[in-house]
Structure 1
Amino acid sequence: MKTADPELMRAINRFHVLDTIRRAGAISRVEIGEYTQLSATTISAITGALIEDELITPHHEGDLRSSGTGRGRPRVKLTLNAGAARVVGAKIATNGLAFVVSDFEGQPLAELKLPLRADRLALAVLADLVEDGVRRCVHDAGLTLGEINSVALALPGVIEHGSGRVRSSPIFRDTDVQLTETIGQRLGVPTIAESDANAVALGEHWFGRARDCDDFLVVAVENGLGLAVMHGGQLFRGARELSLDLGQMMLGGQDGSYHRLLDLAGDDAILCGGQGDIRLREAVHLGRPMTHVRRLIEQGNPDLAQAVHRAGEALGIAIANLVGLFAPPRVILAGANLALGPHLLDPLRTSFDRSVTPSLREISEIIIDEAGDELWARGAAAVALGELYGSPWGSTGPALRTMTGLARAGE
């Protein structure tokens, strides 16, 4: 029987301790043991090293009195050292860019949103915009790039997290774009790429609607159809750390035909119902198409109403399939296409209820989260912080990575 790699186990335990302190805010070593089930010796060794590295800070609160002696020792609570690291999270979407500078606790120090048409730009042009946005947001936080440990970029598509390679994305004309290499060289800061669905899943887990839940799914209905799977507090990634693309799910029709979900519920499938509307073309150009689609539906456009209804039905079937596979307690829907409101969500819920396995209907709660770009950018920052915490999981199982201290992370 193969024994666990001791370095991997130390990395896993270190991550659990740091993440437990982050989630608690202030916590004692005894309480860390209760949450993590690690031994007192292991916790003492890990927290001692973290204090020495100035990643966590001990705080003495009151006394613990020994019975009958009148003597005691201070109660020690551990907290993250907010100034131990600073990261930038960036969301790259077709309708603009959003940035946030975050401290080691995940709290925002500065935020910036640039409403512009970011899709289909040449890589060099987009890199200019991202570089300018990062620099401006860092400046607004009162920092310099030299004080930033890493930058995480979140965008739609199929992203190879480990290498930063964008295999495909509606943002780019080309495939296999080396995004992190290009932007990292400009900034001189370690740069990470992640799918926007995975980023918003971490945003929900750290700051949003899943703070109390370690197992859930996120369906991102924006710039495509992304999927994130959170299990045991960790993101699931495919081979080579690939992100998941829900749009490639195949659905069968009653006539024996098969369709990709993207061709039924993606942006292009919806917008084809309003091709002749000049105002809709302008809304697409400005990056706000679904708000205008809803307005046209409510003004009586039958083609758009039918396209959105069909998209909702297809999404409901897809989510029912996901519930059948994963039985998650929560499925969180997020993204700009939620602006379609009941025109999309009513047929989605009806289709889901009709398609889901009856025994699982009460298991999974569907949550609609219309959080803005700021949460997605904070999720990207959480991706960067997770790397600094030393999360050792790879794609389909544990994969040992080289762990470096924060003091070297920015080198």
Structure 2
Amino acid sequence: MKTADPELMRAMNRFSVLDSIRRHGPISRVEITERTELSPTTVSAITGSLLDDGLILTRHEGDIRSESVRGRPRVMLELNPAAARVVGAKIAANRMVFVVTDFCGSVLAALTLPIRIDRQPISVIADIVEDGVRRCVLDAGLALSEIHSICLGLPGVIEHRSGHIRSSPILRDANVDFAAEMSARLKTTTIVESDATAITLAHHWFGQARDLEDMVLVSLEQTLGLGVLHNNRLFRGAGGLSHNLGDLVLGMSKDGVMRLASQAGENAILGSEQADGRFAEAVRLGRGMAHAQALIEADDSPLIGAAIRAGETIGFTIANIVTLFAPPRVIVVGSSLALGEPFLTSLRKAYALAIPPSLQDVSEIVFDDSNDDLWARGAAAVALYELYESPWNTTGPAL
């Protein structure tokens, strides 16, 4: 029988220890041992290495100078915020949002550029992204040379390992090697990630899933995305492929294959109204869903019907996801939540109808109107996640 790769096991154990310190620190070595189920010897060796690399700090609880405190002070471990700085970005059709964070994920600077980039040449988009990264780093009082990693979150089908964007609604080109392009421009390791994966990690680190090791996130933005977390780790497809939920097949129609995006995607919901001049302008400026919300509140029948249809298909889809993964929590985020009660009510009803009786009490569904800064912070968390997994030495990550 083939044994596990020792280097891989060491990397996994190291990540487990570092992530436990991130989630629960300040924390003692004994508590790390209990949470990770690693041996005290292994935890001691790993934490010693992390201290040598300057990734964690010690904090002493208790004071040996005080006569009222008996015994030696407890040595607690916590992340060193200054160990690394990263940049995360949410790249959308009509805006870019950048954040710079420290090693703990705390935001040092944020920048929003309300600029339309869809259908622009990839070279122009790369110019704008480069300028945004450089401006945000400068706002943080840093030099680009002090940034350890950058992560750009975009909608679409993205191959995480290679940095290839197979397809994206905000790019007119397909199969773009965007990670290599931006790494060369910025002279810093640049990761390209699905925005759905980024917001999934954001909720695990900072949001609605901080208490969980397993969860599923459904993103209802310009594309319909899926994020899966299992045992505190992101689950991706072959080659690190993101999950494009919009491509899920619902069945056949007279026109051929019917996919989820054709019923619940943004274009499917807004399509009936885009001939209207004001509505078309709102869509162009990225405010289509907000405008749709106002029309729904004014009893616009076609939009209400579209919202109900989209809610039903998303409800059935979530029921299928729960049937497959049985996560304790499903977090639903994205612009479609602006459709309000017609959408949400139909989603809940469809989910209740479709979920098997044996799984009715398994998953909690949470709706969260995550702001753009959280999406960008999630991209930064992806960059930190990679650093946590990377072997380090005293001069930095060995990427």
Contact 2:330 2:365 survives alignment (8 Å): yes
Contact 1:150 1:410 survives alignment (8 Å): no
Could you tell me which runs of 5 or more consecutive residues in structure 2 were left unpaired when the two chains were aligned. Answer: none
What does residue 74 of structure 2 align with? 75
**Closer, same or farther in 2 for the Cα pair 1:409/1:102, shift >3 Å?**
same
**Closer, same or farther in 2 for the Cα pair 1:25/1:404, shift >3 Å?**
closer
What does residue 49 of structure 2 align with? 49
What does residue 395 of structure 2 align with? 407
| Equivalent position amino acid for 2:23 in 1 | R
1:303: Cα distance to partner? 1.7
**What is the alpha-carbon distance in structure 1 between the residues aligned to residue 279 and residue 70 of structure 2?**
75
Please identify, of 252-261 and 5-14, the stretch whose mean Cα deviation from structure 2 is larger. 252-261
| Equivalent position amino acid for 1:128 in 2 | D
**Closer, same or farther in 2 for the Cα pair 1:296/1:45, shift >3 Å?**
same
- CA offsets 1:169-194 (integer angstroms, 9 cap, x no match): 11111110111111111111110011
Secondary structure at the residue paired with 1:73? Answer: coil
Contact 2:218 2:332 survives alignment (8 Å): yes
**What is the alpha-carbon distance in structure 2 between the residues aligned to residue 130 and residue 367 of structure 1?**
32
- CA offsets 1:322-379 (integer angstroms, 9 cap, x no match): 0111111111001122111112111111111111112212211110000101111110
**What is the alpha-carbon distance in structure 2 between the residues aligned to residue 78 and residue 406 of structure 1?**
18
What does residue 331 of structure 2 align with? 332
**What is the alpha-carbon distance in structure 2 between the residues aligned to residue 152 and residue 171 of structure 1?**
17
**What is the alpha-carbon distance in structure 2 between the residues aligned to residue 47 and residue 179 of structure 1?**
36
Contact 1:63 1:75 survives alignment (8 Å): no
**What is the alpha-carbon distance in structure 1 between the residues aligned to residue 383 and residue 75 of structure 2?**
29
Please identify, of 134-143 and 250-259, the stretch whose mean Cα deviation from structure 2 is larger. 250-259
| Equivalent position amino acid for 1:228 in 2 | G
TM-score (norm 1): 0.92
What does residue 395 of structure 1 align with? none
Secondary structure at the residue paired with 2:188? Answer: coil
1:33: Cα distance to partner? 0.5
- CA offsets 1:370-391 (integer angstroms, 9 cap, x no match): 0101111110000000000016
1:118: Cα distance to partner? 2.5
What does residue 34 of structure 2 align with? 34
Secondary structure at the residue paired with 1:118? Answer: coil
What does residue 123 of structure 2 align with? 124
Could you tell me which runs of 5 or more consecutive residues in structure 1 were left unpaired when the two chains were aligned. Answer: 392-402
**What is the alpha-carbon distance in structure 2 between the residues aligned to residue 285 and residue 272 of structure 1?**
13
Write the mapping of 1:3-402 to structure 2, written as runs, cut at 5 A: 3-62=3-62, 72-252=71-251, 258-390=257-389
Instruction: Count the aligned residue pairs.
Output: 396
**Closer, same or farther in 2 for the Cα pair 1:254/1:166, shift >3 Å?**
closer
**Closer, same or farther in 2 for the Cα pair 1:256/1:157, shift >3 Å?**
closer
Contact 2:85 2:147 survives alignment (8 Å): yes
- CA offsets 1:78-101 (integer angstroms, 9 cap, x no match): 111110000000010123111110
What does residue 398 of structure 1 align with? none
| Equivalent position amino acid for 2:57 in 1 | T
| Equivalent position amino acid for 1:215 in 2 | D
**Closer, same or farther in 2 for the Cα pair 1:404/1:62, shift >3 Å?**
closer
Contact 1:159 1:167 survives alignment (8 Å): yes
1:302: Cα distance to partner? 1.8
| Equivalent position amino acid for 1:114 in 2 | L
**Closer, same or farther in 2 for the Cα pair 1:113/1:213, shift >3 Å?**
same
Secondary structure at the residue paired with 2:4? Answer: coil
**Closer, same or farther in 2 for the Cα pair 1:230/1:406, shift >3 Å?**
farther
- CA offsets 1:59-90 (integer angstroms, 9 cap, x no match): 2222589xxxx984331011111100000000
1:404: Cα distance to partner? 4.7
| Equivalent position amino acid for 2:19 in 1 | D
**Closer, same or farther in 2 for the Cα pair 1:360/1:76, shift >3 Å?**
same
Secondary structure at the residue paired with 2:59? Answer: strand
Secondary structure at the residue paired with 2:141? Answer: coil
| Equivalent position amino acid for 1:20 in 2 | S
**What is the alpha-carbon distance in structure 1 between the residues aligned to residue 236 and residue 264 of structure 2?**
23
Please identify, of 356-365 and 256-265, the stretch whose mean Cα deviation from structure 2 is larger. 256-265
**Closer, same or farther in 2 for the Cα pair 1:406/1:242, shift >3 Å?**
farther
